[in-house]
Amino acid sequence: MEHQTNNTRRRLNGMVVSDKMDKTVVVRVDRTVVHPKYHKRMTRSTRFKAHDPENKTALGEKVTIEEMRPLSKDKRWRIVDTKAA
């Protein structure tokens, strides 16, 4: 069943850092912030659990994830697009 995409849902780009779970991958999303005192750019990362129903994404792949309804305690994102690393 094809999901309707709504423009209000957030989309983020990241990299798969773990694919050991069934139908779930862990995606690391990096962002750049500026240090308040030293004004140096730093990379901060956040890890999201994303739904992958066919288990087709592999470790190290670049993916796009999209917000969705909660599927479990930690899983609120789904894989939308996969790009080769």
Q: Where are the domains of the chain?
A: 17-83
CATH number of 17-83: 2.40.50.140
Interior/surface letters 24-58, b for 16+ CB within 10 angstroms, e for the rest? bbbbebeeeeeeeeeeeeeeeeeebbbbbeeeebe
Residue-wise pLDDT tens digits, 27-49: 999 999 999 999 999 999 999 99
pLDDT for 83: 85
CA gyration radius for the chain? 14
Better-predicted residue by pLDDT, 13 or 84: 13
Residue 84 pLDDT greater than 70, yes or no: no
Structure pTM?
0.85
